[in-house]
Amino acid sequence: MYLVSQTLEAFGSLDVLFNNAGSFAAIGAVWEVDPDAWWNDVTVNLRGTMLCCRAALPHMLKRNSGIMINMRGGDQIPGGTGYSCSKVGVTRFTELLARELKREGSAVLAFTMGPGFVRTEMTELQLQTPEGQKWLPSSRAAVEQGRDRAPEDCARAVVRLIRAACPELSGGSFGPDTDFDAAVRGARQKR
């Protein structure tokens, strides 16, 4: 994959892969949405994550080092089945990838991170379109009630996750409010 080869050429190694691409274009009931838009949401969110991981893994496996962080999202969103199903898939994909890596004795780690509701170009569709207003009123409520998150909240959490990353947490799913010190302690106590 071009992205990985360019990263390796520029920096010599790839230490962290952060899969943050997302699509939520198919808004509406299953019987209303364009099947191609629905499938595109699944393709971007799930297949895109797998392809990026697959491209980065040979380098990380060779070095026996690396961290993969895959963004997940809401998994129970009526009116957003393509997005929701794909993000459930990303979570399960990451859990199983972590198990595969562990089974092979690899030190490469995999995690999911959920940002909460962040205002982006993607979520503006939920706020501005008739379909979004009908099917996703919680998006408007999140903004009106000040429950939307700044992108920087998730970015800071990703940095904390990278610092706390350890085999005991691999396969786990985290968010901007995660107390990573407590998560590490809890995971080590379960051993």
Residues tagged active-site: 83, 87
Residues 32, 132: Cα–Cα separation, whole Å: 13
* pLDDT beyond 80 at 143: yes
For residue 31, which amino acid is it? W
pLDDT digits (tens, 9 = 90+) for 58-103: 999 999 999 999 999 877 788 889 999 999 999 999 999 999 999 9
CATH of domain 2-183: 3.40.50.720
82 burial type by CB count under 10 A (0-12 exposed, 13-18 middle, 19+ buried): buried
Ordered by start, the domain boundaries in the chain are: 2-183
List the Cα angle 137/19/63 in 5-degree steps: 160
pTM, to two decimals: 0.91
